[in-house]
Structure 1
Amino acid sequence: MCTMIAKRVDVQGSGKGSGGWFTLDQAYVSFDHPFNAPVEHALNLDFVNEAAGPGARVAVELSLDAARELVATIQAVMAEAEAGGFTDAPSGTVA
């Protein structure tokens, strides 16, 4: 049975594909059957720049346990960076 749980979020970042680096402007997060991961259902992440075409995509399929670990690790790294006074201001600017 397909879950078809899907959400879209605007993002600002970069991804690297076979043709090199490209700007990312959207991410799709879904929970459904994976194409390749060896699990029945997976958390699927698609980072894209739709204007740049199908080559501007980075896809990731994770087990639920791996996704939870990734979320916890991301939150821990962000908390440590913020506690250290670091920001995501563009390079060459003063925050």
Structure 2
Amino acid sequence: MLIKRISCKVIEGQMDSFYDSQKQWKSLSRVNGFIGQVGGWSKRHPLTASIYAFWESQGDYDFFMGEIHDQIFVQSRQGNTYSSIEVDMFQEEKRILDWRMIFWEF
């Protein structure tokens, strides 16, 4: 599984616009390999929004970035709502079954 963390420094006065623009990304639900995403506002840095997106594979994510991402980004107009963005990628093995096996052993 591929995990993408996106952290945006939202422009003061643009929190509602950022949130409304973020809703445009719901079309990701129709993209092959997209598992889901969660996000929210930082308590320490109120103008910082973090989003975590989960993908089945690097190939699915690469297709999305090459063929779909820019259309959603332009339509959402989200780029006008933040002053900086940081993106981190993580590759994670699905370990839920392993964890559950360990949990139930004691």
Kindly indicate which of the two structures has a greater share of residues assigned to strand. Answer: 1
Kindly indicate which of the two structures has a greater share of residues assigned to helix. Answer: 2
